[in-house]
């Protein structure tokens, strides 16, 4: 959430305290947003769940939109922090991609309500805030694109390099489908069997 510190004004000067309090605000707000929606949740309710006064809350943010922005930033940052280490797992590109897909899809399962909320409410952000969130999404896609390009270079993957970006987007969308279509998919798949099925299909396309 470090990038957010530069984008949201605050009356507090201690950057470590800002980071701590904003993380606490996110945790207090996110469940309320998921349960009630962004527009129906009040700042007073967030402050009450956080255990501070509305006045103190406004020392760390300017508007309710700032809290939504912090929540969106937290979600994207969490995904990136968990998946990026997959780049260092092994020099074997197939195993690296398998590990990154597994990590990403399991995170989607853990945060599926938050992910659905994110896509429903991103429209409520300002133009500049949306640009930042979309950039974070692009950075997540680039992690998969980097692994794929590495595999093309070492001969593990057979697709044309021009297709690496599109294939990375496909990986992202197939993972997100677990959140958006879970009501149908969970009738036929467990998380483990879904990951196995999609990974097998994706790697078959890359290596054949």
91 or 169, greater pLDDT: 169
**Which two three-digit tokens encode residue 27?**
């945790």
Summarize the confidence of residues 48-72 as an average pLDDT: 86
Q: Provide Rg for the chain, Cα atoms.
A: 19
Read off the pLDDT band of 3 (50, 70, 90).
Answer: very low
Give yes or no for residue 83 having a pLDDT over 50. yes
CA 85 to chain centre: 15
Give yes or no for residue 195 having a pLDDT over 70. yes
What is the reported pLDDT for 6? Answer: 44
Share of the chain above pLDDT 70, in %: 94
Give yes or no for residue 71 having a pLDDT over 80. yes
pLDDT tens readout for residues 5-43? 446 777 777 788 888 888 888 888 888 888 888 889 999
Structural domains of the chain ordered from first start: 2-63 (1.10.10.60), 68-207 (1.10.357.10)
The DSSP string of 94-137 is HHHHHHHHHHHHHHHHHTHHHHHHHHHHGGGS-HHHHHHHHHHH
Give yes or no for residue 174 having a pLDDT over 70. yes
Give yes or no for residue 1 having a pLDDT over 60. no
Contact 22, 62 (CB under 8 A): no
| Residue among 190, 75, 172, 85 nearest 121 (CA) | 75
d(CA 5, CA 155): 42
Least confident of 50-54, 145-149, 204-208: 50-54
């Amino acid at each position: 959430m470090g990038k957010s510190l530069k984008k949201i004004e605050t009356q507090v000067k201690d950057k470590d305290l800002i980071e701590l309090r904003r993380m606490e605000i996110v945790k207090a707000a996110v469940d309320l947003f998921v349960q009630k929606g962004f527009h129906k949740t009040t700042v007073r309710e967030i402050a009450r769940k956080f255990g501070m006064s509305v006045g103190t809350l406004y020392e760390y943010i300017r508007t309710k939109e700032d809290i939504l922005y912090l929540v969106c930033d937290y979600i994207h940052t969490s995904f990136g922090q968990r998946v990026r280490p997959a780049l260092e797992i092994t020099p074997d590109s197939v195993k690296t991609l398998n590990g990154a897909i597994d990590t990403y899809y399991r995170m989607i399962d853990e945060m599926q309500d938050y992910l659905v909320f994110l896509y429903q409410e991103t429209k409520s952000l300002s133009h500049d805030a949306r640009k930042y969130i979309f950039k974070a999404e692009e950075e997540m896609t680039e992690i998969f694109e980097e692994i794929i390009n590495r595999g093309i270079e070492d001969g593990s993957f057979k697709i044309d390099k021009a297709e690496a970006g599109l294939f990375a987007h496909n990986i992202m969308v197939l993972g997100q489908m677990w959140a958006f279509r879970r009501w149908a998919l969970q009738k036929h798949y467990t998380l483990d069997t879904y990951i196995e099925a999609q990974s097998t299909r994706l790697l078959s396309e890359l290596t054949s």
